[in-house]
A and B are shown apart, each in its own frame.
Chain A
Amino acid sequence: MFTVIAVDISGRHRIDAGYYMVCAAASVEITPTSIEKINEINTEAFLFSKPPELLDIVKIIENTAAKIKKKGALIVERGDLFNLDENLSKPMFTQEIRYQESIGERKAIELAHYVSLSTRNLLLKETGLDIRIHENDEDNIDAGDNADDNNKDGADVE
């Protein structure tokens, strides 16, 4: 088993308020084909007035992962880093980072993705920003009707 921190960012498209992004970092124990245990999850929200550039994304990822106690290599989706070649993106980080390779890593990213997505949807609803979401928001799935559930850390994910 390996400890990895899977990271995913939701909301990289423009809404009226600017670029409102939620990053989720999930520290998980994985095998090459499955998630065995979830240690902890941290989410952070970021608002940019300009489209985030590569170094912004690096900062977002590192800041979100910094709060995680149980450390491991960062697993990031290639697309989140502008499809940059791994050899070029690695040196930008202060810690070990890799694009997803195994089934287990893919599942971990999927988990982080659902957390960042639902957290962002919830935050948008709570803050009233959601009325101004652009139409082409492909990530915009229903985060559920329970507006009282402002469990920001997504700790109820199994």
Chain B
Amino acid sequence: MNPYQEAGEDAHRNVILVMRTDPDSDAEDNQRKLQEFSELTKALNDKVVDVITQERYPDRKYNVGSGKAKELAIVARDKKANRIIFYDPLSTSQIYNISKLCSEAGANCRVMDRFQLILDIFAQRATTHRSKLQVELARLRYELPNARILVSLSKKEERAGWGGLGDYEDSYEQDIKKRIARINTELKKADLEEEARRVYRHKNGFFIVSLAGYTNAGKSTLFNALVDEQTESKDMFFTTLIPKTRALIINKRKILLTDTVGFIEDLPHFLVDAFRSTLEGIYFSDMILLVVDFSEPTEHIRKKLMISHETLWEKSTSNIITVLNKSETMKPAERKKKLEELSHLIYNPIFISAKTGMGMPDLMNEIGMCLPPLVTQTISLPNNESGAAALSWFYDNGLVEEILYGKYMTFDFSATEDVMAKVNDIISKTQATL
């Protein structure tokens, strides 16, 4: 139903970011917002080809001034932009006006605002049926108030062509309303926890460690650093099922590391449910690495930590490590002072720099310490078909060390206590068939 063409949906898209700021606003704050805005586009693998900023009060027709808008259209053409994304929320008529300027200039791109970008990110990261519904619902709610204007704008434009537009106008809005109603009914049926539990049922002795934190805290950088440093396990089941998940081995433990959608500042109300639904993995985590950009001013960190705790508190584990990232940018005394000021919000703090690698060994250690302890037992299985079948159970449920093959297959097996409790059953089954 989207009336705008979008080129190059696959590969990476070229995007232009547009940010208008009020004349009397705080320059540093604007800079930070712009940085976060640009980080958001990375979550979709988009390439920022230009950033256009303007200091002025919002223009009714184009959001930025009309001169700036014309300039923007030319840049969009020259840089082959696929998307122009505004920081400010745009009205439908603004989107229409800017799109018109662009197509007149010969650019072929979609004009959208930051909220639509955020919705795209959520959509990409929604795993369960329910979270997909939540995202779709948010999108429809966002579109609804604009549906009528949208159609009447096209009407103005193509007066001659569309005969039965009146009908279409009604049906477009009606269509959105119907879809909202249908999704609401479906949402009532789809139990998120039930579904997520089904997904995580097969976790097979894996510990689920989730990275959480605000956009721009450095989650992705840390994720990559952790993945680079460790041996990746070959278990593909989860890594294909859940986006941004890798299976790793840290301190002999099989770990599923998942990156989550970053918390976003000033998330509008209509996006909150959709955001929370993308966090479903967190609610099944054994541990959360709460990543914080520790180089920010104390007051910002406090607010962000507060909202992180609010989001996590009811449903998730309290097994949290607070990863104080970007610590290399501060002197030790400064770090210590900040930590003291925020101590009531910071659990298990570890100073790191995901960029330079500082503190990474400490982090590994801490992760190892916070995971439930493993027990090791020597196992002997008959070296035959039933033994081989049993062996795959051991691989799935814990860590199998080097196997000595003879009449028996002998190896050390490490796993949690609840897994260990099942070992005797598995072994006795193989003996029954001997």
Please list the residues of chain A having a beta carbon within 8 angstroms of any beta carbon in chain B: 2, 31-34, 101-107
Contact = CB atoms under 8 A, between A and B. Distances in A.
Nearest to A33: B318
B306 A32 contact: no
Interface of B: 302, 305-306, 309-310, 312-313, 318, 320, 322, 343-347
Which of B305, B306, B318 counts the most A-chain CB atoms under 10 A from its CB? B318
Main SS at interface, chain B: helix
Given A32-B320, A33-B318, A103-B347, 12 more contacts: A2-B343, A2-B344, A31-B347, A32-B309, A33-B309, A33-B347, A101-B305, A101-B306, A101-B344, A102-B305, A105-B344, A107-B313
B318 A102 contact: no
B218 to A, nearest CB: 20
A101 B345 contact: yes
Nearest to A98: B344
A79 to B, nearest CB: 13
Contacts of A107: 313
24 contacts: A2-B343, A31-B347, A32-B322, A32-B344, A32-B345, A32-B347, A33-B318, A33-B320, A33-B347, A34-B318, A101-B302, A101-B305, A101-B344, A101-B345, A102-B309, A102-B344, A103-B309, A103-B312, A103-B318, A104-B344, A105-B344, A106-B310, A106-B313, A107-B313
A32 B310 CA distance: 12
Contacts of A33: 309, 318, 320, 347
A96 to B, nearest CB: 12
B162 to A, nearest CB: 50
A132 B186 CA distance: 40
A2 B343 CA distance: 10
B346 A32 contact: yes
Contacts of A102: 305-306, 309, 344-345
A102 B310 CA distance: 7
A31 B348 CA distance: 10
A135 B120 CA distance: 44
A126 B346 CA distance: 43
B347 A101 contact: no
Which of A102, A106, A107 counts the most B-chain CB atoms under 10 A from its CB? A102
A65 to B, nearest CB: 18
Given A2-B344, A33-B347, A101-B345, A106 B318 contact: no
A131 to B, nearest CB: 34
A103 B313 CA distance: 5
